[in-house]
Structure 1
Amino acid sequence: MAFLRPNIVLLITIIAVILIVFSLAQEASRRWQAQTQIRELQSQVDNMQKHLVELQQLNEYFRTKDYRERIAREQLNYRAPGEKVVLIPETSTPNQQTTAFQKEPAAPVSTPLKWWYLFFVNTKNS
């Protein structure tokens, strides 16, 4: 009976150590996952702060006099006193000068001729 007691104590100690190691491993895993999530959320916060700064700058631009004047000119046909507006009509037909300089499509090259060019004409000192 005295012989069994040290073995039982040793067995209970080993089981307790295994449970403690398992518990510590789980806790380390939870901490690692939490740190990973914290880094991801911090990255999102940084991106949102950059976006917020961009939106604030855009908002400041929208409040400027130059922006309001540009929008008034474009959308409300505003013109300053003493300013003359010139409208240039858009043409939908191409004029003769641009069509005169356009190239005609090249005639298709036969396959044997392409091989000839590949092997004999386009060869460099090889």
Structure 2
Amino acid sequence: MITAASFRVGDRVTVHSGQSGPQAIATVERFTHDKRCMVLSDGTEWRADGRRQWGFRGSFYKGPVVEPIAEGDEDHVSKRRGIGALRKFADGLTMDSPLSGEALRRILDAVDREKAAVGGESATNT
């Protein structure tokens, strides 16, 4: 069990959600309320033990948690954000998009090179 003593100002931490794993990387900036609350570099406030738990209308909700950064967390968060950015970019593409056909071809070529590097199919063959 992680205790308030587990975190110190300057520690790098990972915000985890139960369903999707590591979501964000931050740094502990300061403690408030007699060291019962910690503030992260992204501006969020957490209980000093890294938990965000509360009751609502008789129900108990256990929200995301803050844990010390672990190996692989940064890669997971980076990949998650990259996928989100690519999905958002692709979702907005239409024939009226300001990108030229040549620019889109360069993007597809880069995707093809990356997929080939890991042994995947060509983007133009899907």
Give the shorter-chain TM-score range: under 0.3
Comparing both chains, which one has the higher relative contact order based on Cα–Cα distances under 8 Å and sequence gaps of 6 or more? 2
Between Structure 1 and Structure 2, which shows a larger proportion of helix residues? 1
Between Structure 1 and Structure 2, which shows a larger proportion of strand residues? 2
Give the TM-score of the pair, scaled to structure 1.
0.22
